[in-house]
């Protein structure tokens, strides 16, 4: 116990610890996304990953609560220090938590829709979106951890592109005459992919946008 | 952190240590200066002060009111120690001032809790968390003050402890402090008496207020410097360790307040966390008790500064302060459900109607002292 106390005493910066925990949330949600997509593609069985996905979701929720508590403590003990950073973290930690929730939603779709994403005209665009999101996950960790504005901008444009593709897919799904189960499953997958991309983009905007404009990367400034 | 930043950080740290030592020196010198002024004021002043303070209810009132206004029990207790050390006030008459200072100091975290007044549930928790300190100190005074009035047990206990210091390192430490601080204090005294144009009688008052100014300034900046040195490190393990157990919370409250030299700072730190629901009143109660004991260090330091050959009265008063806080903790920790329940009840009342919060503060910090002034006529 004393050794732990001394170690923590020397480790001065709570905010650095909070940032590390946030990155951990992103890493966990990335793992969840990859595992869920492997199930959707038929590369893994649902039973192999379902329990792990739910456990990871709980880990993410716990990390969110821990980070919020620590932010409060930081502001109570050192008021006025790093206020913006704290408010940004308070906002993005919600986005990271939503990533976990949407990955859980994806596994629920996989559970209800027993067929794999291997053929059909919707599979290719969905898998393209999935690959783009994979890259976004890798990019957002780098962008946030290292304050890399170039990486952040690239994530935001990737998100814009994913939004367009998903909107197009939804239009096609509405016009198409698919069986109900397929239509619902593909609609939900499209919707969830779009939301995951949006939350990753929100996190990226925190690197480049001032605090009042967090999450507003695709809307014009001022009245139209 | 890169090597250049590390060097800069280390340099700042050393600078703060040097500044801290200088401020502590100023604190000790100011105690001596105030002591010179009080002694120099002569028998008339001492007589009138003794006359006023001979009523111990009035002393309690002075302690509460003075501390509520300047928001520093350390300053008030240090001043009381200086008065006792210079012989203008006896330990018996100064003890109620110390007890009053204990109550008065809790106004700070009560004021902090008012910052949470916007959201009802948050305010309920924050106010309870703040007022529990006040309730504990008030209950401790209600129990121990009559005991002191009837038996003098605080004074007697403190005298016993003082005898333990005599002839051992404690007294020698006091004499060493005396040796280091007295030349500077004498220099200041000579300078004031030489430069003051309005005569020796008023020069004494000039010296007194100058000493007081130095005392407040030193204490203010000591707390600021220590706070800047300590709190950055504290936040790294605040959440994980401090409130895990009651004993740990107590120890951290004690050590932190010893380090920062202000129970107002350390107890008001936790109020926002109680308000946010991160901590409970039950968790912070032992921390508050530790902070109460830790804050006696300033009076102890002032007491050592007043120690000269054969005179340990200032130290006795400081020890009385320590004994009071230890006794209070020993009585009310086992009975903690009383102050905690009262704090929660007041928190509920204040949350349902915010004006009760203000009524509570006015009552404790102004009405009660007023009642004491009234009682002073009859006892």
B239 touches chain A (CB under 8 A): yes
Say whether pLDDT at B171 is over 80: no
ipTM surpasses cut 0.90:
no
Say whether pLDDT at B32 is over 50: yes
What's the pLDDT score for residue B170?
54
What's the pLDDT score for residue B113?
84
Say whether pLDDT at B212 is over 90: no
Nearest Cα residue in chain A from B276: A72
Highest mean pLDDT among A62-66, A180-184, B265-269: A62-66
What's the pLDDT score for residue A221?
46
Say whether pLDDT at A218 is over 90: no
CATH class label, A12-213: mainly alpha
**Lowest mean pLDDT: which of B144-158, B213-227, B302-316?**
B302-316
What's the pLDDT score for residue A224?
45
Binary contact (A73, B238; C-beta < 8 A): yes
B350 touches chain A (CB under 8 A): no
Binary contact (B278, A72; C-beta < 8 A): yes
Say whether pLDDT at A189 is over 90: yes
Please give the average per-residue pLDDT across A184-209, as a whole number. 93
What's the pLDDT score for residue B41?
65
Say whether pLDDT at A6 is over 70: no
Nearest to A73 among B232, B233, B239 (CB): B239
What's the pLDDT score for residue B148?
92
Query: pLDDT band at B44, cuts 50/70/90?
Result: low
Domain ranges of chain A: 12-213
Query: pLDDT band at A109, cuts 50/70/90?
Result: very high
Say whether pLDDT at A73 is over 70: yes
Query: Which is higher by pLDDT, A141 or B262?
Result: A141
Nearest Cα residue in chain A from B239: A70
Find which of A76, A79, A80 to mutate to test the B interface (most B CBs within 10 Å of its CB): A76
Q: pTM of the entire structure?
A: 0.79
Nearest to A9 among B233, B239, B270 (CB): B233
- CA A186, A188, A191, A197 dihedral sign is negative
């Amino acid at each position: 116990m004393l050794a732990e106390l001394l170690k923590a005493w020397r480790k001065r910066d709570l905010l650095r610890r909070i940032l590390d925990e946030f990155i951990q949330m992103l890493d966990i949600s990335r793992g969840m996304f990859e595992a869920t997509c492997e199930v959707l593609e038929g590369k893994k069985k649902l039973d192999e990953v379902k329990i792990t996905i739910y456990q990871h979701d709980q880990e993410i929720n716990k990390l969110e609560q821990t980070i919020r508590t620590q932010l409060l403590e930081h502001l109570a003990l050192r008021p006025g220090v790093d206020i913006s950073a704290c408010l940004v973290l308070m906002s993005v930690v919600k986005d990271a938590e939503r990533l976990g929730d949407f990955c859980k939603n994806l596994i629920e779709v996989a559970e209800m829709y027993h067929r794999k994403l291997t053929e059909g005209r919707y599979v290719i665009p969905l898998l393209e979106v999935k690959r783009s999101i994979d890259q976004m996950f890798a990019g957002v960790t780098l962008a946030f951890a290292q304050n890399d504005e170039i990486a952040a901008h690239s994530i935001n444009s990737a998100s814009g592109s994913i939004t367009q593709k998903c909107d197009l897919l939804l239009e096609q799904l509405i016009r198409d005459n698919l069986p109900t189960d397929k239509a619902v499953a593909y609609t939900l997958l499209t919707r969830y992919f779009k939301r995951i991309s949006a939350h990753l983009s929100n996190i990226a905007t925190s690197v480049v946008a001032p605090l009042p404009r967090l999450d507003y990367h695709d809307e014009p400034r001022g009245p139209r | 952190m890169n090597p250049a930043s590390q060097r800069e950080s280390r340099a700042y740290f050393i600078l703060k240590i040097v500044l801290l030592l200088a401020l502590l020196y100023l604190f000790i010198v100011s105690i001596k200066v105030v002591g010179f002024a009080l002694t120099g004021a002569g028998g008339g002043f001492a007589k009138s002060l003794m006359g006023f303070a001979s009523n111990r209810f009035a002393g309690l009132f002075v302690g509460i009111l003075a501390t509520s206004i300047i928001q520093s029990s350390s300053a008030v207790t240090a001043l009381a120690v200086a008065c006792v050390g210079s012989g203008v006030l006896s330990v018996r008459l100064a003890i109620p001032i110390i007890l009053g200072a204990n109550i008065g100091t809790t106004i700070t975290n009560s004021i902090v809790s008012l910052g949470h007044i916007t959201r009802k549930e948050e305010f309920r928790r924050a106010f309870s968390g703040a007022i529990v300190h006040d309730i504990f100190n008030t209950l401790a005074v209600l129990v121990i003050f009559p005991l002191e009035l009837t038996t003098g047990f605080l004074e007697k206990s403190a005298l016993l402890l003082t005898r333990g210091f005599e002839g051992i390192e404690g007294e020698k430490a006091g004499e060493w402090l005396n040796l280091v601080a007295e030349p500077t204090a004498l220099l200041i005294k000579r300078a004031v008496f030489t430069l003051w144009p309005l005569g020796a009688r008023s020069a004494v008052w000039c010296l007194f207020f100058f000493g007081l100014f130095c005392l407040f300034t030193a204490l203010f900046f000591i707390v600021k410097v220590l706070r800047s040195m300590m709190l950055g490190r504290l936040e790294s393990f605040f959440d994980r360790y401090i409130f895990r157990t009651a004993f740990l919370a107590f120890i951290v409250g004690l050590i932190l307040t010893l380090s920062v030299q202000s129970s107002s700072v350390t107890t008001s730190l936790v109020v926002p966390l109680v308000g946010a629901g991160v901590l409970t009143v039950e968790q912070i109660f032992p921390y508050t008790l530790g902070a109460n004991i830790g804050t006696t260090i300033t009076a102890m330091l002032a007491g050592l500064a007043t120690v000269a050959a054969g005179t340990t009265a200032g130290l006795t008063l400081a020890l009385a302060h320590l004994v009071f806080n230890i006794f209070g903790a020993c009585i009310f920790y086992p009975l903690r459900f009383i102050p905690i329940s009262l704090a929660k009840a007041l928190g509920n009342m204040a949350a349902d109607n915010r004006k009760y919060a203000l009524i509570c503060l006015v009552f404790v910090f102004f009405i009660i002292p007023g009642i004491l002034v009234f009682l002073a006529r009859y006892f």
